[in-house]
Structures are given as structure tokens and as C-alpha cells.
Chain A
Amino acid sequence: MSLWQTIFPYILSGISVGGQYALIAIGYTMVYGILRLINFAHGDVFMVAGLSMVYLAASLPLYLAIPVMIILTVALGFTIERVAYKPLRTAPRMSVMISAIGVSYLLQNLALYITGGLNKNYPEIPWISDKITIFGATTTRVTVITPFVTIALVLILVWVINHTKIGMAMRAVSKDFETAQLMGIKINNVISITFIIGSFLAAIGSMLFFTNYPGVVPTSGGMPGLKAFVAAVFGGIGSIPGAVIGAFIIGICESLIKGLDTILMSQGVIAEQIGFATFSDAFTFILLIIILVFKPMGLFGEKQTDKV
């Protein structure tokens, strides 16, 4: 078996995982860019999006369930900001962060209460769940389209930020909160829009993620949320292209590490298993530490103008 044939399936699943992390990471990075707040509840918004899809699809046809799920998720993101963060606008940043942690646990426990802690099977979305074969690797269609959907959404987002009025307002707010306010920018609207965009992307991300890995539990948002956060820091928190590239790097590395034993053995480099797969998560965080030691602002963190 050639090296390419051995490695390709890993890269494929890595790109797909990376795309899903990217959609969540944008939510983290945008909120940080504007509010300087790490929104710990974001991973749980992603989980709630998955859960609401499970319940909606049980009673509504899919073409209705999907838009309703997206609207609900966006409404949730908006409400969280209005209820838990807005009253604390003038409070020390630490208080807002604690409030975010509180919201995160509230959502998890509500989900635990509603689901009874049981694994919920995500509904199958036709067409994207179909099996396809690409370059000799068999997989589902969603794996292949995830990176394209992600990149398309990011391009639209970047266009919005650079070429629309609200985008300009966002850039202004991220640059200087108070001055922007003095210049007549309605801060609260800008912040709400940021949360709406972040939640919308999390909703799309949850659809792609759970179609690929179809079990939703109250803690489903935990690991993907954490990895996406790492990706955002990795790429330079506040930078959208940074978050996306960081997410793809983390997804691909993670996937390759899990298969490293097999790849090396098939190439005859090692004769016995070493057990790299065990360290796939540890590796993600070691990578983060190394990058931050050499580039404290992350990969794309220096250019202040990119911040949103």
C-alpha cells in the first residue's frame, strides 16, 4: 500500500474534524475580539443546537426542523448575552467570565435534566449522510463537504466584516470600545450581532458534527468546545483566519497522531506499536504550549487590524 493511500483517510477525517472545530472557533474568537471575553458557554450552545435538532426532527419534517433549530440556537446565543453578560458590561472582566462559566453549567445541567443523561441519536440528514468513495477511501458525504461549507461561510463572514456597515462597526468596536461608543456606534447592537453570528455558525457546525458523530449527550459540547478554543488561541485569538487555520491544523494533527502507529508500521519504520493514539489529546495541548512559547500572540495574532 502506498504512503498516500495509507495516509489519505486520516487527512480526510482530519480536515473534516478541523472544519467543525473552525465553525465553533469563530464564535470564540469573535466574541473575544469585541468583548475581550472568553465565552465558556459557546461549546454548550453548540450542544444545545444538537439536542434541539434531535427533538425538533422527531416532530417536524427536516426542511422545517433545520431552520427552526438554527433560529432557536441564534435566539439562545442572543438571550445569553442579554441576560448574563450585558448587565455586567461595566463589571470587572473576571465577573463576566464567571457568569459565562455559570451559563455553561446551567445549559449542561438543563440538558442533563431533559435528556435524563442518555445518549440521543442525531437524526440522519439525507444526502449528506450517504456513503461515497473518494480516492479509494470510503466515507460519508458530510466528511467531504464540511471543509467546503466552512470555507464558504468564512469567506462570506470576512466579506461582511470588511465591506458592510455593521462589519465596519465591529472592527471599530474591537479596536477601541469606548471611542467607538463616542463616535455613535450602538455598542449593544454590535455585540448582539456578534453573538448571533457566532451562534449561527455553531448551529451549522453542530449539524455537520453530529451528522458525522451522531450521539448527543449533555457533555457533547465540552471536548469540541475546548478544542475549538485551543484552535482560536492557536491561530491568535481575535483573528478569524487564524482561528480557521488553527482549527484545520489541530484537526489534521490529531487525526494523524491517532493513526501514527499504523502509518509508521505500514512503512516499515517501526516494527511494533508504540501507542501514539493514546496521546492524541495530550498532543493537541502540547502543540498549543509550544506555539505560545514561541509566538505568544498565536500564529496570526500580531496584526491588530485583523481583530474582530
Chain B
Amino acid sequence: MKRFVALGLVLCMMAAALVGCSSGSSSSEKTVKIGVFEPQSGDNGAGGKQEILGMQYALTKTPTVEIGGETYKVELVYADNASSNDKAPSAAQTLISGGVSVVLGSYGSGVSIAAGDTFSAAKVPAIGVTCTNPQVTSGCDVYYRICFLDPFQGTVLANFAKANGATKAYCLAKQGDDYSGGLCNYFIEAFGADNCVYEQFPADTSDFSTYVTNAQNQGCNVFFAPVSTEAAAQIIKKASAQSLGMPILAGDTWDSNVILEAAKGSDLDINVTTFYQEGANPEFDNGIKAWINSDATAKSNNGGNDELAAVTAMGYDAYYVALEAVKKAGTTDPAKVLEVLPSLEYTGVTGAIAFDEIGDAKRDSAFVKKCNTTTGVWDFVTEAKAQ
């Protein structure tokens, strides 16, 4: 009897799996598929979801595109890379098998580097939205990106720290993480290695109190921690509980309402560099806020409020860059789209976008924002350029 029950269960599961496979859409309308290669879970899940929000909002504004005289419906195809380097290639493969013309993402450089070969082998162009590590594009011929790079961001942050009187920096990165490790190295290079204390924490660390104590005991006067928002929230709590007593600096990942929420009510001084300052384009700001407030899922993906993250604005621009590319190529064939990318130019809400010969965006400025711990919003500090 038991054997039959078990056999029946197995058959049910197989049937369910088969039904899941065959549920593809079969509309006669012509569609162009854009792959969304973003983390929706794991360390960078929150950031990935905010980046997707920008694309989804852009899709509601521009749901169709003219390609070669015909109107195509745009479809976003999602793959969750789970913020994990070993899951990235299979997520990339899912998108390629799904027949996408161009891929957007990812939030977090490590997964983009890991998936580069997969995209390259299939000759599918990928446009990085906020992955700032140089290796994303330098090691891959199909990867382009619309954001600035870490050597630039690291220098800007180091200059900002020096200009604010910092003499000794405590740098904290996650072990094996290309983004935080890379950014720390560029910061240390610009700040001076002799004046930096560099430490790494292992994955799944939740106790950051010892790192805060280390920074205090080493006599540092700036705390540089360009880590994922999840670790950031823990660091902020510990820094606040142990009265850190020095300003905290971080890169673009910290431009998130996770940080604002964690820091609200504390007496910390948190500064970050980022891509977009709210208020630069009021029309876009108001439009997306209205959309986020009208859509319950979007709102919860944005952390439960309508505070705008720079990655969302970048996601919005990335969507239009992808549309421009397929328009210019005149076809949905990924190989053709890849050919037109080097000469593509587009001006979005975050500024003018054009690519250099490596595939990086030509950008020379970053915004510095400071967390206002009483009101829980970002205050604009300065627009920084590399010297």
C-alpha cells in the first residue's frame, strides 16, 4: 500500500513539473524579449529588486518599440542569480534559452563577472546597470555598462575622506566578494596604503561588533565599508550601539532605504557616493513615486516606502538603452544588437550615456549624499569629479 502511495506522489510531482514546463505563451503578437539578470534573493536581493523596479516602471511607460518599421511588444524575462557567483551562469543560461535579445544587469559585480563567459559564448549582449568592478567589461567582449567604475568611485571616496580631515581609514570588505574587495583596494590605493587598516569578514557573518571595536582600537577616523546592504544594516546597528565615533563612508550599494531605516534615530555620520540624486529630474521622480505607491508589490520591493534609490533610476535608463539598441539594430537578433552597442548614445535621467572601447560608460562625476538620521532621507552633499 505504502509503495503505491509513494509511486502516486512521484507521478503527481512529475506531472506538475511537466505542466510547469509547457506553460509558455503563444500569442501571435511580435515581441522582443529583454533579459533581466538580477539578484532577487540572497545578500543583494533588496538592491536587485530596486533595480528591477526602474525597468518595470519604464516598461509601463513604454511597452512597445518600433523595430524595422514594425511594432514589437516588449517583454521582460527574469532570472534570479541569487547574489551567488555559482548560480549566476545557470541564471544567464536561462535567459539565453528564453531567447532574449539583450540582457540588463546585474546588481553586484561578482555575478556579472561570473556570467560573462556564458553571455559571451552565446553572443548575447549584456548591459551592466550598476556593476562597478572593472573586470565586468575588461574580461568580457559582450558586456557593456552604463555606470561609473570602482577605480573612479574609490578615488572620489578617498578624496572626500581626506577633504574631511580623515588621516587613518578602516576598510572592511566581504571575503571573496568582487565588489567590496575591489572597491576597498582602489580606495586604499588612493588614500595611501600606510594609513589604512584592511580587514575582511567571512560570508554569513552577523556579528560585526568586533570589527567596530577593531576600528576604534586602531585609532582610525573614517570607517569605509562598501558592503552589501544586509551586512550594512548590521554594521550600522553595531556602530550605533558601540558609539563608533567616526564617519562611515560607502559606495553606491549603500544608497538604499535599508540604510536609511537602519540609521534613523542614531547619531552616525554616513556618506555614500551614488549615480543619481533625487530631484535631478522631478518629472521622473514624481512619475515613479506615483507608480510605486499605486502598486503594492512594487512598494514592498522598494522596502515599503517611496524613497527613490539611485539603482532604480539606473534600471530605468538601462531599459531605454536596451530599446535604443534593438531599434538601431533593426532586428531582435542578439548578434546584431551587439554590433550596434559601441556606437550607441542615449541621454537618460542619470545623464548622457555612451560607451568607450572597453564597453564602459563615459562618466566622470558621482554624487555624494549624506544620511539624515532624523528625517530618514538622503541629503545632497556635493557632486564629485575625479582629478
- Determine the interface band of chain B, counting residues with CB < 8 A from chain A: 35 or more
Interface contacts beyond A138-B241, A143-B209, A261-B199: sample of 15 additional A-B pairs, CB < 8 Å, sorted by A:
A9-B209, A112-B41, A116-B40, A116-B301, A121-B233, A121-B262, A214-B237, A219-B204, A223-B205, A258-B214, A262-B213, A262-B218, A277-B210, A280-B202, A281-B202
Specify which chain B residues have a CB less than 8 angstroms from the CB of A217 in the assembled complex.
230
B231 → A minimal CB distance (Å):
8
A296 part of interface (Cβ distance < 8 Å): no
A277's nearest neighbour on chain B, judged by CB, is B199
What is the minimal beta-carbon distance from B298 to any residue of chain A, in angstroms? 12
**CB-CB contacts below 8 Å: B165-196 with A:** 175
Check B199–A213 contact: CB distance below 8 A: no
Q: How far is the CA of A13 from the CA of B238 in the complex (A)?
A: 11
| Given A215-B230, A217-B230: A117 in contact with B209 (beta carbons within 8 A) | no
- Residues of chain A within 8 A (CB-CB) of B258 are 119
Contacting residues, chain B, for A112 (C-beta < 8 A): 41
Q: Contacts A223-B204, A259-B214 known; A119 to B46 CB distance under 8 Å?
A: yes
CB distance from A26 to the nearest CB of B (A): 20
> How distant is A191 from chain B, measured CB to nearest CB, in Å?
22
Pairwise interchain contact B242-A116, C-beta atoms closer than 8 A: no
Q: Is the CB of A138 within 8 A of B242?
A: yes
Least CB distance from A132 to B in Å reads 9
Q: Is there contact, CB below 8 Å, between B42 and A117?
A: yes
Give CA–CA (A93, B237) in the complex, Å.
43
Question: With the chains together, A116 CA to B205 CA distance in Å?
Answer: 21
For the complex, is B145 an interface residue (Cβ under 8 Å from A)? no
Report A84-119 CB contacts with B as 1/0, cut-off 8 Å.
Answer: 000000000000000000000000000010001111
**Residues of A with C-beta under 8 A to B241:** 131, 138-140
B284 is an interface residue with CB less than 8 A from chain A: no
With a CB–CB cut-off of 8 A, which chain B residues contact A254? 207
Q: A1 at interface (Cβ–Cβ under 8 A)? A: yes
The answer to whether residues A273 and B262 also contact, given A119-B230, A266-B217 and a CB cut-off of 8 A, is no
B contacts, CB < 8 Å to A: 40-42, 45-46, 49, 80, 82, 175, 197-202, 204-211, 213-214, 217-218, 229-230, 233-234, 237, 241-243, 258, 261-262, 300-301
Q: Does A255 sit within 8 A of B, measured CB to CB?
A: yes
Contact (Cβ within 8 A) B197 A119: no
A265 CB–B CB distance under 8 Å: yes
**Interface 0/1 of A201-242, CB less than 8 Å to B:** 000000001001111011110111000000000000000000
Q: Which residues of B contact A220 (CB under 8 A)?
A: 206
Q: Which residues of A contact B243 (CB under 8 A)?
A: 131, 138
| Pairs A-B, 9 closest by C-beta atoms | A117-B41, A213-B206, A258-B210, A223-B204, A117-B45, A13-B209, A9-B213, A281-B202, A262-B214
Interface size on A, residues (CB 8 A): 45
Q: Which residues of A contact B42 (CB under 8 A)?
A: 117
Query: If A13-B207, A138-B242, A278-B200 touch, does A119 touch B213 (CB 8 Å cutoff)?
Result: no
A255–B230 Cα distance when bound, in Å, is 20
| Docked-complex contact A255 and B261, CB < 8 angstroms | no
CB distance from B251 to the nearest CB of A (A): 18
Closest to B243 in A: A138
Does residue A10 face the partner (Cβ distance < 8 Å to B)? yes
- Asked if residues B49 and A118 are in contact (CB atoms below 8 Å), the reply is yes
Against B, the Cβ 8 Å flags (1 = close, 0 = not) of A262-297 are: 110110000001010110110000000000000000
A79 interface hit (Cβ, 8 Å): no
What CA separation (Å) do A140 and B45 show in the bound complex? 29
Contact indicator A116/B206 (Cβ below 8 Å)? no
- Please give, as numbers and ranges, the residues of chain A lying within 8 Å of B82 by CB-CB distance: 117
Give complex CA distance A220, B310 in Å. Answer: 28
A275 to B199, CA, bound (A): 7
On chain B, the residues within 8 Å of A143 by CB distance are 209
The answer on a CB contact under 8 Å between B175 and A278 is yes
Contacting B45 at CB < 8 Å: which of A9, A116, A214, A224? Answer: A116
